[in-house]
Amino acid sequence: MIDSVLAILSAVMLGLGGFFMVSGAIGLLRFPDFYSRMHAASMTDTLGSYLVVGGLMLTAGWGLPLFKLALILVFIFFTSPTAGHALAKSAQHCDLRLPGGGASTKKADNEISGSAQGPDSRDVVSADRV
Amino acid sequence: MELILDIALLSLLLVTAVYIAWTRDLFAAVILAGIYGLLSASFFMSMGAVDVAFTEAAVGAGISPLLMLSTLAICGRAQRANPQRALLALLTVGVVGALLITATLEMPAFGSPDAPAHLHVAPRYIADSMREIGIPNVVTSVLASYRAFDTLGEVVVIFTAGLGVLSLLGLRGDVREEPIHSPMAEPSHLVLRVVGKVLIPPILLFALYVQFHGEYGPGGGFQAGVIFAVGFILYSLVFGLEAVEKIVNRALVQALAAVGVLIYGTVGLLGIVSGRNYLDYSGLAGDSVAGQHLGIIAIELGVGITVASVMMIVFFVFSAQLARGRAVPHAS
Amino acid sequence: MIIATAIALLVVMVLALVRALLGPTIHDRILAVNVFGTKTVLLISVICFISGRPEFLDIALVYALINFVSIIGVLKYFEYQGRDEREGMQ
C-alpha cells in the first residue's frame, strides 16, 4: 500500500519536474532578452531539480543513496539560486541592459549616456567605460 | 533506453566539439569546453565507467575551464587568424584523422567479449583482486596496486606541471603590491559570501569522504585532491586572494606538493625494505591483504596531497598573475 | 516515468546547448552552462537509478558542488575582463 502510494507520488513528482524543466528550457531558448531568459531558466531550474530529486528520493528506500540525494537537494537549494543571483549581478555590472533601459539601479544613470538603442536592439552592450 | 542515451550524448558531444573548433571567441570556446566536460562525464556514467566519470566531473568540468579562463584573462580572448598555418593544421588533422579512422576498422566491435582488453589481464584482475588486495573497488586496486608504477608516473607528472607553472609565473610572487582588488569580494556580494561560507565545509568534508572511501566506491586521491582544492578556490573567489593567503601558507603548500610524491615513493621503498619489489605492499603488514590495504591508503593519501597542493598552487599563481596584470592599467 | 524524465532532461540539455551556441552575449552562454550543469547532475542521478546502481550518486554530488564553483569563477573572470574590454563582447 505504502509502496504504491510512494511510487505514484514519485511518478507525479518526476513528471512535474520534467514538465517544469522543459518549459524552462523553451523559455531559455525563445525569450527575447537575457533577463527574461534568466528568469525562465533559473526559476524552473531550481523547482524542477527539487521535484526530480524528490521523486528519486521517494523511490530510493532507506540507505546511503537517500542521504546522498538529500545532500544533492541541499546543495542545489543553495547553489542554484545563488548562481542565478551572481549571474544577474554580473550581467548588470557589465552593463547588459534591458530593452527599455529599465535597469533599476544606479547603473541606469550611466546608461543614459550610452549608445542609442533601436527598438529591436535587445542585449545591447555598451562600449562606454564607466 | 541506454541506446537513446548514448546516441543523444554522443551527438551533443559532436556538436559541441565542432563549435569549439569553429568559434573564434575563445571565451565561448572555454565555456563550451565546460559543457563538453559535463557531457563526457554523463557518457562515461552511462557506460558504467564511474571512476573516470568522477575524474572528468572534478577536472574536466570544474578545474580546467577555470584555469583556461584565467589564461584567457591574462592573454586576451580573440583568436588571431593565420590562413597559412590553418591550411597546414587542416592537412595534419586530416591525415591523422584518416589514419585513426583506418586504425579503428581493425578494432573489435564495441563491447565485444573477444576484445583483447577483455582477454588479457582484465579477467585476472576481476577474478583475483578480491583475494589478493581485498578491496571491493577493482579500479582502485588496479590503479593503486597492480599498476602502481603508472600511477606514480602520473603523480610525478602533476608535480612537474606544478613546478613548471611556479617557475614560469610564480617566481615574482614574493613582491608585495597593492592589495588585489576582487570584484566578488566587495560587500555587495553578500549572498555569495554567505553561501560560500555555508558550502566550503561540506566541500572539504566531501573531499575527505572521497579520499578515504575510494576503496569501496568511486573516488580516490586524484578526485579528492581536486575537490579539496576546489574548496579553497571557492574561498579565494568569494573572499579574495589575500583572505586565502592568511589561511594557506604558500611555502607550506609548495612543500606539501613534494611531500605527497615523497610519501608515494617512500611507501614503494618500504616494499623493498620488507623484502618485496618496489611498490609491492604485501610485506607492509603481517598479512599480505592487510599490507596491500595499508599501502593503498598511504599512496592514495600521497596522491591526494600532491594533487590538492598542485591545483591550489596553479590556481593561486594564475590569479595573482591576473591581479598583477590588471593592477597596472588601473594604477595608471 | 523515470525514463520519461531522462528523455525530458536530454531535451532540456539540447535546448540549453542551442542557447549556449547561439549566445548572443557571454552571459547567455554562462546561463546555458549553468542550466546544463544542473541538468547533468539530475541526468547522472537518473542514470544511477535507471541502471540500478544508486550507490554511484557521488558523481552527481560532486557536480552539484563543482558546477557552482565553476560558474562563480567564470563570472569573476568576466568581471575582470569586462572592465577593460567591454567592446569585445558581442
Give the per-residue pLDDT at A129: 35
- Supply the pTM of this predicted model: 0.82
pLDDT at A102: 44
- What range does the domain containing B118 cover? 86-124
Interface of A with C in 41-70 (CB under 8 A): 41-42, 45, 48-49, 52-53, 55-56, 59-60, 64-65, 68-69
Instruction: For residue C81, list chain B residues with Cβ-Cβ distance below 8 A.
Output: 27, 72-73, 77
At residue C54, the pLDDT reads 77
Confidence of residue A92 (pLDDT cuts 50, 70, 90): confident
In whole angstroms, what separates CA B106 from the centre of its chain? 32
Q: Nearest residue on chain B to C49, judged by CA atoms?
A: B46
How far apart, in Å, are the Cα atoms of B99 and each of B17, B95, B112, B256? 20, 6, 23, 43
In a domain, B130, yes or no: no
Contact A86 B183 (CB under 8 A): no
Residues B119 and B251 in one domain: no
B141: number of Cβ within 10 Å: 23
B176 phi and psi angles, rounded to 5 deg: -90, 120
Q: Report the mean per-residue pLDDT for chain C.
A: 81
Is the pLDDT assigned to residue A101 strictly greater than 60? Answer: no
Torsion from C-alpha of B25, B31, B35, B36, nearest 10 degrees: 60
Looking at the structure, do residues B116 and B235 belong to the same domain, yes or no? no
Cell of B236: 579565494
Q: Residue B156: what pLDDT?
A: 93
Residue C60 has pLDDT above 60, yes or no: yes
Answer whether residue B132 is part of any domain.
Answer: no
Query: What is the structure's pLDDT at A107?
Result: 40
Domain count, chain B: 3
Nearest CA in chain C to A13: C1
Domain boundaries along the sequence of chain C: 2-85
Chain B nearest-CA distance from A120, in A, is 24
- B36 and B110 co-located in one domain: no
Residues of B within 8 A of A82 (CB-CB) are: 191-192, 195
Q: Is B122 on the interface with C (CB under 8 A)?
A: no
Does residue A30 register a pLDDT over 60? yes
Of A11, A17, A41, the CB nearest to C35: A41
pLDDT band for A33, please (50, 70, 90 cuts). confident
Residue C80 — pLDDT band, cuts 50, 70, 90?
Answer: low
User: Would you call C51 an interface residue with chain B, using a CB distance cutoff of 8 Å?
Assistant: yes
Q: Which of A21, A91, A123 sits opposite C8 (nearest CB)?
A: A21
Residue of B nearest to C11 (CA): B8
Residue with cell 569522504: B209
Backbone angles phi, psi at B254, to 5 degrees: -65, -40
- In this predicted structure, the answer to whether residue A118 has a pLDDT above a threshold of 60 is no
- Select the more confidently predicted residue: A33 or B328: A33
ipTM: 0.86
Is A93–B192 a contact, with Cβ atoms under 8 angstroms apart? no
Residues in chain A within 8 Å Cβ distance of C90: 125
C18 contacts A29 by C-beta, under 8 angstroms: yes
Residues B167 and B293 in one domain: yes
Euclidean distance between CA atoms B135 and B210, whole angstroms:
15
Q: Which chain A residues are within 8 Å of B199, Cβ to Cβ?
A: 75, 78-79
CA distance B206 to chain C (A): 8
Chain C contact present for A123, CB below 8 A: yes
Which residues in chain A are contacts of B186 at CB distance < 8 A?
none
Shared domain for B281 and B320, answered yes or no, is: yes
Contacts of C38 in chain A (CB under 8 A): 45, 49, 76, 80
Burial degree of B190 (CB within 10 A; 0-12, 13-18, 19+): exposed
Return averaged pLDDT per consecutive 10 residues of chain B, 332 residues in all.
85 91 83 88 86 85 83 74 81 94 84 78 81 81 85 92 86 52 59 87 90 82 90 87 82 90 90 83 80 87 92 86 61 35
Instruction: Name C13's Cβ contacts closer than 8 Å, sequence gap at least 6.
Output: B8, B12, B39, C36, C39, C40, C43
Q: Taking CB atoms and an 8 Å limit, are B45 and C77 in contact across chains?
A: no
Nearest-CA distance A78 → chain B (Å) = 7
Taking every pair of Cα atoms in chain A, the longest distance, rounded to a whole number of angstroms, is 67
- Per the CB < 8 A criterion, the answer to whether B26 and B79 are in contact is yes
Nearest-neighbour CA in chain B from C62: distance (Å): 7
Nearest to C41 among A37, A72, A95 (CB): A72
Q: What is the pLDDT of residues C8-45, one digit of tens each?
A: 999 999 999 998 888 778 888 888 988 988 998 899 89
Residue ranges of domains in chain A: 2-97
Q: How confident is the model at residue C83 (pLDDT cuts 50, 70, 90)?
A: low
C41, with CB counted inside 10 A (0-12, 13-18, 19+), is: buried
Q: Is A103 on the interface with C (CB under 8 A)?
A: no
Q: Confirm if C78 and C30 have CB atoms less than 8 A apart.
A: yes
Does B134 reside within a domain?
Answer: no
Domain boundary among B98, B124, B150: B124
Residues B70 and B92 grouped into a single domain: no
- Chain B residue with Cα closest to C16: B35
Q: Which amino acid is at B244?
A: V
State yes or no: pLDDT of C88 exceeds 60: no
